[in-house]
Amino acid sequence: MFRIVFAQELRNLAGARTWWGILGLLAVLIVLAAANGGSRFARMAEGASRLNDDETTLQRGLRDAVARYEAGPQGDPPSASSPGNVGLSLLGHYARLPFPALAALSVGQADVQPGYYRVTAKPAYTFTGVSEIQNPLTQVLGSFDLAFVLVFVLPILIVASSFDLLSREKEAGTLALVAAQGVRLRTLVLAKIVARAAMILPVLLALVLLAGVIVGADLADADTLLQLLTVFAVAAAYAAFWLALAVLVNSLDWRSETNGVVLANAWLVFVVVMPAFVNVAASMLYPAPSRVELTTELREASEAADREAAQARDAYLFDHPELAGAGAPLDEFYLKVLASDAAVEKAIAPILRRFEEQAASRERVVAGLRYASPAIAAQEALNALAATDNARFGDFSRQVQDFHARWRAFFSARIARGERLRATDFDAIPAFEYRSPGYAPSRQAAALPLAFLAGSAALLLAWAAARFRRYPVV
């Protein structure tokens, strides 16, 4: 019996022009969105590949100057051999975050958080505040990426194709006829659900894979393929939620028009209103630490530390006795700079730590709020899978801090020991390489939202099943 009804349902859907219109629209939007995202990240990658060009040229020039002097020492050593001059004045290194190809599927925070930092031997806070040049207006309006199509548009299409799932048949009178033939209501509803799923899910899978191809992902790579399949799983679970909601609304025995209005309202609430409310709740319960306060506190602290520069110098060597070399340090001036920088950093460390702790605990608290709406859960899952969520940028930032310590130690050790840079030293200057956690952790991060979406869908269906028990077919 199920098979017969299911086959009929499929025929009905396939025969309806609006149905193909909906699928066609989804295809067009997904292709456009993927192409759009791809172009954005392609441009970013192209610029990023040239980041260190200037520094490499500069470094080579300095190395050559030193090598020439070493080959035939004449006159004073070149300024290129001064670790203070090179490390504290001239050189910097661009540490960049490479984005996987699938990042183009969801812009996430990639247009707000820095994708690279210019690391110098100065305290970290001097270079972490710099951002990429963006038009804030484009950031406010948002981007038309795959995540947008899945989170905002897909529900509308699902609702449009299933808001009158059962109510249409009841109003037309065919429900009574079908029931009279001995088809159980449960069988009919199940057939309708499965038919819709059978028509949407394969198309959605194909489109997600196509989107992956468009943004340049290597589908032959098992890890990338698995990631794309996880993206599809999130989209499918999200679609399942909306389908389940439509079924539930149908089970309440209202007119088709009312169903449409109720589901449209549900879309409004879950996708537009709830996230905005969650925002307000987050910023009231757990306001972001103030950058204005941070700026003025850093200023005051570095102020005070600067004034004690002379004492700071002795204190520095006291803290790092291993760096006190035999004989007078060559870079007297740079040693003072190092010492005052160290004093400033010591003074501001508690301020920065407090700021970061506040930001981190805020992120944890707000993370729980993502379950207030399936739209938020889906968006966050997609951001995580695309490696454009705050967690990824946080990890990048931490790795940069570690690298900064290594970079600075390379030069400060030589400054404090009074050594000159040799040509071989230039070859040993550290370079940043981002250690990517790979896709696996992001799949774990997306697991909970995915379970939430699927679980909610199951709950709604169970509720609907209970209502259908008392559903009048005439």
Partner 1 sequence: MIAAIARKELTSALRDGRIVWSAAILALMLVAALGSAAQRYAAISVERAAAQQLVDEQFRNQGDKNPHAAAHYGIYAFKPVTPLSFFDTGVNGFTGVSIWLEAHRRNMAEGEPARDATAIARFGELTAAFTLQMLLPLLVILLTFSSFAGEREQGTLRQVLAMGVSPVRLLLGKALGAGAAISLFLGPIFLLGLVALLLAPGGTHWLSHGLLLAGLYAAYAAVFVFLALAVSAGADSSRTALVVLVALWAVSSVALPRIASDAARLATPLPTAIEFQRAVAADLETGIGPKPVDQLVAERREALLRLYKLDSVEQLPINFQGIVLGLQEQAGNAVYDKHFGSLFAALAKQLGTMQAFSTLSPRLAVQLASMELAGTSMAAHRLFADQAEAHRRKLVDTMNEAVVTEKAGVRGGAELWGRVEPFELRPEPLAATLSRLGPSLTVLALWLAAAVVAALLAVRRLRALAS
User: What does residue 95 show for φ and ψ, rounded to 5 degrees?
Assistant: -95, 120
**Smallest distance from partner 1 to CB 241, Å:** 17
Of residues 98 and 275, the one with the C-beta less far from partner 1 = 275
DSSP class of residue 142? Answer: -
Q: Which of 134, 181, 424, 444 binds partner 1 (CB under 8 A)?
A: 134
Alpha helices in 369-389 (DSSP H): 374-385
At 427, the amino acid letter reads: D
The answer to whether the beta carbons of residues 145 and 33 sit under 8 Å apart is: yes
The number of CA neighbours under 13 Å toward the Cβ of 405 is: 6
Residue 296 in the binding site for partner 1 (CB under 8 A) = yes
Window 374 to 393, contacts with partner 1 (CB under 8 A): 375-376, 379-380, 383, 389-390
Under the criterion CB under 8 A, does residue 257 sit at the interface with partner 1?
Answer: yes
**Per CB under 8 A, 17 contacts partner 1:** no
> Around 423, how many Cα atoms within 13 Å sit in the side-chain half-sphere?
11
Q: Is 264 in the site for partner 1 (CB under 8 A)?
A: yes
Which residue's CB is nearer to partner 1, number 275 or number 430? 275
Q: Applying CB under 8 A, does 112 fall inside the site for partner 1?
A: yes
Residue from the set 220, 292, 328, 428 that interacts with partner 1 by CB under 8 A: 292
**Minimum separation from the CB atom of position 296 to partner 1 (A):** 5
Question: Shortest gap between Cβ of 193 and partner 1 (angstroms)?
Answer: 22
127 binds partner 1 (CB under 8 A): no
- Binding of residue 289 to partner 1 (CB under 8 A): yes
Both tokens of 172, joined, read: 């037309």
Residue linked to tokens 């499929």? 10
Do residues 388 and 110 touch, judged by C-beta distance below 8 A?
A: yes
Q: Which residues contact 434 (CB under 8 A, 6 or more apart)?
A: 95, 96, 97, 98, 396, 399
Given CA atoms 117, 118, 120, 123 in this order, what sign does their dihedral have? negative
Residue 109 touching partner 1 (CB under 8 A) = yes
Q: How many CB atoms lie within 10 A of CB 458?
A: 13
Tell the smallest beta-carbon distance from residue 257 to partner 1 (Å): 5
DSSP one-letter string for 199-241: HHHHHHHHHHHHHHHHTT--TTSHHHHHHHHHHHHHHHHHHHH
Residue 250 lies near partner 1 (rule: CB under 8 A): no
Q: In the complex with partner 1, which residue's Cβ is closer, 142 or 437?
A: 142
Interface region with partner 1, contact rule CB under 8 A, candidates 146-154, 200-208, 310-318, 454-462? 146-154
Farthest-apart Cα atoms in the chain, separation: 107
444 sits near partner 1 (criterion: CB under 8 A): no
Select from 45, 282, 317, 447 the one that contacts partner 1 (CB under 8 A): 282
Residue with tokens 């090179």: 86
Q: Which of positions 157-196 make contact with partner 1 (CB under 8 A)?
A: 160
Least gap, CB of 390 to partner 1 (angstroms): 6
Tokens (6 digits) for 422 = 């040799």
The SS3 of residue 111 is coil
Listed in order, strand segments (DSSP E) in 17-171 are 93-96, 116-119
Q: Which of helix, strand or coil describes residue 96?
A: strand
**Is the Cβ–Cβ distance between 103 and 41 less than 8 Å?**
yes
Select from 6-14, 283-291, 319-327, 402-410 the region that touches partner 1 (CB under 8 A). 283-291
x/- mask, partner 1, residues 24-53, rule CB under 8 A, reads: ------------x--xx--x---x--xx--
Residues in the chain: 474
Minimum distance, C-beta of residue 384 to partner 1, in the bound complex (Å): 9
What's phi and psi for 93, nearest 5 deg? -135, 130
Q: Is 132 in the site for partner 1 (CB under 8 A)?
A: yes
| Residue choice 198, 209, 229, 359 for contact with partner 1 (CB under 8 A) | 359
Instruction: For residue 220, state whether it binds partner 1 (rule: CB under 8 A).
Output: no
Nearest approach in angstroms of CB 265 to partner 1 is: 8
State the nearest-atom distance from the C-beta of 81 to partner 1, in Å.
24
Question: Which residues 297-326 are close enough to bind partner 1 by CB under 8 A?
Answer: 299-300, 303
CA distance 157 to 151: 11
Q: Which of residues 87-106 bind partner 1 (CB under 8 A)?
A: 94
| Residue 236 neighbours by CB under 8 Å, 6+ apart | 201, 204, 205
Binder of partner 1 out of 56, 57, 139, 174 (CB under 8 A): 139
